[in-house]
Amino acid sequence: MTYRKIPISSRSPADSAAPIKQNWIDYQTAFSVNHTPIADSNQGKHEKVTLRRAVGNTFVTGPYDILWADDVSSQAGTQLQLKSRIPQFLPNNVPNTSMQITYNQVVNSGVVTPSQTNPYQSFMIGGFLVFLNQTTIDPSTGTTVTLSPVPTKILSVIAQPCVFPLINVSYAVNIANNSQFQITVSPSSTPILPFSWIAICEA
C-alpha cells in the first residue's frame, strides 16, 4: 500500500478514479493505526498510543503539554521511558527540563514478610525509585538491607520500629553504598525488633 500524490496531470479523469479511491483506502488504513477508524462514531479517538523513540522537537513553546518516549540511562542500563514536559513554571531561572514519568520495573507480589532482600519497589516522576518493606533488625549487629533492582544512589531512607514505644531505645540508618543501607539500634542489648522502612533512590 502506498499513499500516492495523484491524480497525475497526464492521465484522464477516468484513469484517475481508481488511484484516488485507493488513496482513500490507504489513508483509512494508516489512520486506523492507534486511532478509532474513520467512519466510526468514535473516529479520531485513540485505541492505543504507540510511542516510537522521539526523533522530533520535544520542547514546549505554548500552552500545551508534551509526552514522548526516549532513552534514559540508569543503573539498569539505557531503556526507553515515557517522558513529559510542561510549559515553563516557577522558578524561571532554571531550565525547563523534561520529566521521566516511568521506570521499566515494579515489584509488587507476594505478602509482606520481614526480609533483608527482595523489597517491594515502585517509582516516582523524575527517575526516582521507591523501595519499601519490613525487616527484622538484630540490635547486636545491626542489619543490612539490599535493594534490587540496584539503584544509582540511595537518597533518603525512613525506617521506624513496628513495636510499642521502647524507653531509651534509639535507632539510625547508615547508607553503605548505592544499593545497601544498615539499620542499627542502640543499646545493642535491645531484643530483636521489626522495622518498616521506605527508601527513595535515583534509578
- Under rule CB under 8 A, which residues in 54-73 are in contact with other proteins? 54-58, 63-68
Residue 164 CB, nearest approach to other proteins (Å): 16
Q: Does 89 bind other proteins (CB under 8 A)?
A: yes
Q: Grid cell 535507632 — which residue?
A: 171
Q: Does 39 bind other proteins (CB under 8 A)?
A: no
Residue 162 CB, nearest approach to other proteins (Å): 14
Task: Pick between residue 89 and residue 164 the one whose CB is nearest to other proteins.
Answer: 89
Distances (CA, A) of 58 to 64, 111, 193: 11, 41, 50
Alpha helices, DSSP H, located in 119-165: none
- Tell me the CB-side half-sphere exposure of residue 93, using CA atoms within 13 A: 0
Q: Does 124 bind other proteins (CB under 8 A)?
A: yes
Residues listed for the chain: 203
DSSP, collapsed to helix, strand or coil, labels residue 176 as: coil
Task: Pick between residue 162 and residue 172 the one whose CB is nearest to other proteins.
Answer: 172
Q: Does 125 bind other proteins (CB under 8 A)?
A: yes
Q: Does 106 bind other proteins (CB under 8 A)?
A: no
Q: Does 134 bind other proteins (CB under 8 A)?
A: no
Instruction: Name which position in 39, 77, 78, 97 contacts other proteins (CB under 8 A).
Output: 97
Whether omega before 149 lies within 30 degrees of 0, making that bond cis, reads yes
Instruction: Name which position in 44, 87, 191, 194 contacts other proteins (CB under 8 A).
Output: 87
Spatial separation of the C-alpha atoms in residues 47 and 67, rounded to whole Å = 17
Residue 126 CB, nearest approach to other proteins (Å): 4
Task: Provide the 8-state DSSP code for 144.
Answer: E
DSSP, collapsed to helix, strand or coil, labels residue 114 as: coil
